[in-house]
Amino acid sequence: MKKIINIILLIFLTSSTLSAGEAKLLKIGSVDARITIKVFSSLTCPHCANFHNKIYNDLKKEYIDKKKVKFEHHGFPLDLAALNAEKMLRCSQDNEKKFLLLSEIYEKQDQWAVGSDINIINESIKKMGLKFGLNNTEIDTCFKDEVLQDQILNERIDAQKNYKISKTPTIYLNEKKYEGKHDFTSLKKSLDKLL
């Protein structure tokens, strides 16, 4: 009987963890969209910032808002600064604010993701979070959250295994790797073929 209770408890805890993990994933768009775009990126990667800054707003206006595309940001941190920024991003409770904060992180990447002192970098990351509804205590708690850190790092390991990530950003359209140019015109052609 004790063994059965332990198994039930383990199943419950595992499903609770998966639900929490899924809730932390940054995604926007209709669940019924015909296309899912997965972008595996590091928040300190200049190519990732370039992709997001040049494509995301047009993508949102033409595809996400029209329920044609569901967009997912998959954190693939390449360093401690990117990991801490990803943790703060996931601590925001409001999905709209998460995407606004994501855009802010990429737009200001050349200001906060510089230098070798992680304490100075963390203070710069914090300033962005404060503008989007987080407070100092919440952000400090996020930076110290080992469960969240393990979740992000395990997602990175899983992405490496399942999607063979060799560089960031890596983009998948409906589970197929996108090999086109990282500009809106090229991406639009690939999306329109799938609609």
| Domains, the chain, ordered by start | 25-194 (3.40.30.10)
What residues in the chain have per-residue pLDDT under 50? 1-23
Q: Which amino acid is at 125?
A: I
Q: Is the dihedral of CA 136, 141, 142, 143 positive or negative?
A: positive
| Mean pLDDT over the full length of the chain | 89
d(CA 188, CA 87): 31
- Amino acid 81: pLDDT: 98
d(CA 185, CA 195): 16
Cβ atoms < 10 Å from Cβ of 154: 11
H/E element holding 26?
Answer: strand 26-28
Rounded to the nearest 10 degrees, the angle between the axes of helix 184-194 and helix 46-59 is: 60
d(CA 86, CA 84): 5
Whether residue 64 contacts residue 28, with contact meaning beta carbons closer than 8 Å, is answered with yes
d(CA 129, CA 147): 20
Query: Which among 82, 102, 81 is positioned nearest to 92, based on CA atoms?
Result: 102
H/E element holding 51?
Answer: helix 46-59
Q: Which amino acid is at 62?
A: E
Rounded to the nearest 10 degrees, the angle between the axes of helix 80-91 and helix 118-131 is: 20
**Contacts for 161 with CB less than 8 Å, ≥ 6 apart:** none
